[in-house]
């Protein structure tokens, strides 16, 4: 199920700098969330397993079942929206998992995704948005007035944007000593610019759901490209500093505006 992955020198250097203990494995099968038995197989390659658990009071009553499982005592590795490269601190040492879906991904961008995982591990940010919003997650749920899956998508996007405000500072430093990774980071941002710029129009015309637009805009934050309103308010030092409180206030104001 898990095969150790060799890292090219620039990526190995990022791991040594930001997450020197992290183990990296290719996964035999694709997954959104690893089945419990397969997740527990990580105990064969890691020293110990420490499932994340959160109070049930942090979840709205209609929270998706997978989110409830993640908050519970089951070892839950990988959640919707995690992408092709997943990291976890529920193992000791931390583990980075590469899904088979990366096949066909341009090598420079794959190297960036791996390096990004090590940077995020080094930031010591929560592993999931539930650890970011904590007991304020029901407040976000009330603010966005979406179905449970829509709330989940917005929450995951907002958390991704908050992490991106921090990780992009590291990425921007790579131009001097790791130009291949810097170029991949910048190229990915360039590919998003036109799509992000057109989000307000797409939402207004009903061509894009607001949750999808939020996901795209927040994913762009780590690439340091200009965001249109109302997402530009998330690309601020205030969001980085005040985190979940700022995100919820942004959601309240934004959805009030949409309702009008």
Over the stretch 155-199, which tens digit does the pLDDT of each residue have?
Answer: 999 999 999 999 999 999 999 999 999 999 999 999 999 999 999
pLDDT at 63: 95
CA dihedral 181, 179, 197, 83 (to 10 degrees): 0
Helix (H) or strand (E) holding 259: helix 237-259
Closest C-alpha to 116, from 41, 171, 175, 36: 171
Chain position carrying tokens 């040492």: 93
| Mean pLDDT, the chain, integer | 95
pLDDT at 89: 97
Closest C-alpha to 48, from 21, 26, 70: 21
Q: In the numeric block, which tokens belong to residue 134?
A: 């904590």
pLDDT at 189: 96
pLDDT at 260: 67
Residue ranges for the chain with pLDDT beneath 50: none
CA distance 116 to 122: 10
CA distance 121 to 130: 17
Q: What is the secondary structure of 128-190 as a DSSP string?
A: SHHHHHGGGHHHHHHHH---HHHHHHHHHHHHHHHHHHHHHHHHTTHHHH-HHHHHHHHHHHH
pTM score of the predicted model: 0.96
Domain boundaries, the chain: 2-130, 148-259
């Amino acid at each position: 199920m898990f095969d150790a992955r060799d890292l090219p020198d620039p990526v190995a250097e990022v791991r040594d700098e930001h997450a020197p203990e992290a183990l990296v494995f290719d996964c035999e099968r694709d997954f959104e969330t690893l089945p419990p038995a397969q997740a527990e197989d990580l105990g064969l390659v890691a020293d110990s397993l420490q499932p994340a658990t959160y109070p049930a009071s942090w979840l709205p009553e209609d929270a998706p079942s997978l989110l409830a499982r993640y908050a519970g005592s089951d070892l839950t590795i990988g959640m919707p929206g995690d992408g092709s490269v997943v990291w976890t601190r529920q193992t000791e040492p931390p583990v980075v998992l590469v899904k088979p879906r990366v096949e066909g991904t341009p090598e420079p961008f794959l190297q960036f995704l791996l390096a990004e995982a090590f940077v995020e591990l080094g930031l010591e940010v929560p592993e999931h948005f539930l650890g970011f919003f904590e007991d304020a997650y029901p407040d976000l749920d009330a603010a966005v007035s979406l179905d449970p899956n829509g709330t989940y998508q917005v929450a995951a996007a907002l958390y991704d944007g908050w992490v991106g405000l921090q990780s992009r500072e590291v990425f921007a430093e790579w131009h001097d000593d790791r130009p291949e990774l810097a170029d991949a980071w910048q190229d990915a941002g360039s590919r998003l610019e036109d799509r992000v710029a057109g989000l307000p129009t797409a939402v207004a015309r009903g061509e894009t759901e607001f949750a999808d637009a939020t996901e795209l805009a927040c994913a762009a934050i780590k690439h340091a490209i200009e965001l249109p309103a109302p997402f530009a308010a998330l690309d601020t030092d205030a969001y980085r500093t005040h985190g979940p409180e700022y995100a919820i206030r942004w959601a309240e104001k934004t959805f009030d505006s949409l309702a009008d």
